[in-house]
Amino acid sequence: MAILERIYIRPATYDRIRARWLGPAIEQYVVWLTQRQTSRSTILRAVQTLEQFDNFVRARGAQSWQDLPQHVAPFINHHMQQRNLPCLTKRNRGTILSQSRTPVEQMLRLIVPGFVGTTRLITTRPFEAVPGFWSFLEEERGLSPDTLRGYIHCLRSFDRYLQQAGVTDLSTLSPAVIRQFVEEQTRTRSSSLRLQKATGIIRVFLRYLRRQRITATDLSPTLERLQHYRQAKIPRSISWEQVRSILAAIDRRAPIGKRDYAILLLLLTYGFRANEVAHLMLDDIDWKRDRVCLRQRKGGQATTMYPLSPQVGAALVDYLQNARPKTDHRNLFINTCSPYGPMRMHGVSHRAGVYLRRTGVTTPRPGSHTFRHTCVQRLVDADFSFKTIGDYVGHRREESTHIYGKIAVETLRNVALGDGEDVL
């Protein structure tokens, strides 16, 4: 049975689609979506948009598929105008824009050679022309995929800035241009730690340019080393009452709620990092021995085994039986929207931040690390040794745990909420 017959019930419907000028392209696109395990409702909505696109381009006199890219922007404007934009919220406008643009551009990538479009599609890394740079990072330095994504994000900003500044030949790179880029990053990056990481990445790149003799001198010393003091900030932990309110706010009737509830329990119970949660596999849950095996640790640390608590186990069972999409991926946590791929660390952190903001909990940089800090702080308040806590949450240095012991968080909360005479 052909793919359209499996999607549509009425023969007249798929006969109408095949009879269109773009019929073969639409059917090819539907096959591509099906291979990516896209939901039927999403496919139906995409095909409806493509039928409208077919009507639009035929009315404008398109003669070949090679002519289609020039009609994309006019079609999107026409489609948006038909939806009565002044009456829509900003969020709804963004949804309609995505629904009108994404199917068209995805289909054109399949049928028009060389077409890229404007939707988010990262196909190349910045500075691919620099010989061996990314191999150097992957093989010589042994950077993890998550760390490489940070390099890609930062160097893409640097590459974009150089293009705007008219620097097309890296051999002409000057200290003045580099300092101007850092000044721009200082204005846009809210955290001194993020700025420190960005300048460190640029410094590695500049050293490599000198190593390959692309630049005449080593330009990395022109980047000033920013000071970041380990004990300068307090932990981002929240009270246990706030934790209860966050967990209670999760709608566990929905599949996404079942998944997010299990994720937050893992963050709170074991102090896992976002990337550690994202890398958990189905085989890492040992149901016979009631254990959780954590293999992907920061810095390549040894595999760690944790006891599977009854509450975490019950949440995982509920998610696996009633919410996890059917997919061939072995990752424990899967995106709830098609295509059903594994969650990434940024997705885990984002979902944690969603519930912090939804319940009105104020904390700097709301995300998964807030729950990790809360787990560690609770262990400190329970008088566990720093060595024990550090081993439990995977700190490579004992100094990383000391920051949680420099203040008595619960005592200070009591002072802030009351007159404080009983605790002073």
Whether 369 is catalytic is: yes
Structure tokens at 276: 């550690």
Q: Tokens at residue 85, please?
A: 């934009």
Helix and strand totals (H; E) in the chain: 19, 3
Q: What are the phi and psi torsion angles at 342 (to 5°)? A: -65, 145
From residue 111, give the alpha-carbon distance in Å to each of 4, 68, 69, 362.
18, 10, 11, 48
Q: Tell me the chain's radius of gyration from C-alpha atoms.
A: 26
In the set 258, 273, 324, 351, the catalytic residue is: 273
Establish whether the linkage from the previous residue to 339 is cis, with ω within 30° of 0: yes
Nearest to 263 by CA among 393, 386, 354: 354
In the annotation, is 395 catalytic? yes
Q: How far apart are CA 260 and CA 408, in angstroms?
A: 30
Give yes or no: 273 in active site: yes
> In this structure, how many other beta carbons lie within 10 angstroms of the beta carbon of residue 198?
24
Question: Given the structure tokens 């619960």, which residue do they identify?
Answer: 410
Nearest to 235 by CA among 362, 374, 361: 374
Q: How far is CA 235 from CA 4, 351, 353, 404, in A?
A: 55, 20, 16, 6
Instruction: Annotate 97-144 with DSSP letters as a single string.
Output: HHHHHHHHHHHHHHHSTT---SS----S-TTTTSTTHHHIIIIIS---
CA angle (230 as vertex; 190, 405 as ends), nearest 5? 120
Q: Please report where in the chains the tokens 């594994």 appear, as a residue.
A: 342
Marked catalytic residue, from 203, 259, 344, 395: 395
Give the contacts of 1 (CB within 8 A, at least 6 positions apart). none
Which is the catalytic residue, given 79, 236, 279, 369?
Answer: 369
| 292 touches 313 (CB < 8 A) | no
Catalytic residue flag (residue 404): yes
| Residue of 125, 298, 346, 350 marked active site | 298
Q: Which of 203, 372, 373, 378 is catalytic?
A: 372
From the candidates 14, 340, 355, 404, give the one annotated as an active-site residue: 404
Q: Which amino acid is at 368?
A: S
Whether 210 is catalytic is: no
Residues with catalytic roles: 273, 298, 369, 372, 395, 404
